[in-house]
Structure 1
Amino acid sequence: MDRRVSRRIAVAPLTAEAFARFGDVLDTEGEPDRIINQGLCGRFHDLAALDFTDGRAGISLFRAEPRMLPLALEMVERHPDGSQCFVPMSPDPFLVIVAPDEGGAPGRPLAFRTAPGQAVNFHRGTWHGVLTPLHPPGLFAVVDRIGEGANLQEHWFDEAWTVG
């Protein structure tokens, strides 16, 4: 019997339950928590916890090249000093890759596809893939820590994983 670990990762729909140990899913599914602005605006309130060791929260705009599935996952990264939130600026789905921490290195990755209206906030220190849109324009607002220090650790796999 071949006991090698499969290097293929299936892509699952993104749900709050499946993603909970890695971060928050921001979603506009269902009714808003509050109605504001003279009844003209629904507010989905406090959907993610920003977590920084120091520094401050900042909002940057990223334009990422769309990717095709299947793709080779060669590396993941994490941010030890702060959470990081990816908010798409179009209704197109994007790919979210995460991995559990196993003694300071990433374990077997998992992959999720977002639905329209979903964004993700990675907990501080969560191993994750880079921003991976599946369609143009690949434009995202990213909320993360702005401050001194690198706040970035990369892990390059000895052998790439195949996602999708």
Structure 2
Amino acid sequence: MTETVRLEPLTAAAFAPFGDVLDTSGAPDKMINAGLCGRYHDRATLDFSDGRAGISLFDAEVRSLPLTLDMMERHPEGSQAFLPMSHTAFAVIVAPDEGGKPGQPRAFLTAPGQGVNFHRGTWHGVLTPLHAPGLFAVVDRIGEGANLEEYWFDTPFTIST
């Protein structure tokens, strides 16, 4: 029997153990371009053991709820940021590490315009857009060697509203 994990709103406080919420909350850190553009400065802590930061584009299939969570992944050599290239919400699934495998998953629903940056080594679900298009900019480690671990659950979870 699968356990159901309910989506909760993505907030900086709730997501802090897993990474950074990337959004334009609060006042801009400074105004630039002759006062026509607010800069929300340095919103994510990028962390890489080696290599360099790279920006890739991901075009993910749209998912519908409820969805089955049967696998989680993590990147031990670097943080990873998901930045939607459309103004739509997406699901973010994370779990604490428990002895080298994911613990109890948590599922968050972003607000339109929010992105996330996973801390290095954070267990997370795959990119999960809920609306088309599923186009994202992903900032992560580019370098030699493996930077992906996957864990497949014996009993999957159901993610729902």
TM-score normalized by the length of structure 2: 0.97
Q: Does 1:31 align with 2:27?
A: yes
Shift of residue 30, structure 1, vs aligned partner: 2.6
Which stretches in structure 2 are left out of the alignment for 5+ residues?
A: none
| Identity over aligned pairs, percent | 72
User: Partner of 2:47 in structure 1?
Assistant: 51
Q: Does 1:115 align with 2:118?
A: no
Aligned pair partner of 2:142 in 143, 146, 149:
146
1:119-138 equivalent positions in 2, closer than 5 A = 119-138=115-134
Which string of whole-angstrom CA distances, capped at 9 and with x for unpartnered residues, describes residues 25-69 of structure 1? 011123211101111110000000100000000000000000000
User: Partner of 1:94 in structure 2?
Assistant: 90
User: Partner of 2:13 in structure 1?
Assistant: 17
Alpha-carbon distance between aligned partners in 2 of 1:90 and 1:32, rounded to the nearest angstrom: 21
Letter in 2 for 1:21: P
Alpha-carbon distance between aligned partners in 2 of 1:37 and 1:65, rounded to the nearest angstrom: 36
User: Partner of 2:77 in structure 1?
Assistant: 81
Query: In angstroms, what is the RMSD of aligned CA positions?
Result: 1.0
Which stretches in structure 1 are left out of the alignment for 5+ residues?
A: none
Alpha-carbon distance between aligned partners in 2 of 1:30 and 1:88, rounded to the nearest angstrom: 20
Q: Does 1:64 align with 2:60?
A: yes
Letter in 2 for 1:39: G
Alpha-carbon distance between aligned partners in 1 of 2:30 and 2:121, rounded to the nearest angstrom: 32
Letter in 2 for 1:14: L
Question: Greater shift after overlay, 92-101 or 27-36?
Answer: 27-36
Alpha-carbon distance between aligned partners in 2 of 1:40 and 1:143, rounded to the nearest angstrom: 26
TM-score normalized by the length of structure 1: 0.96
Letter in 2 for 1:78: R
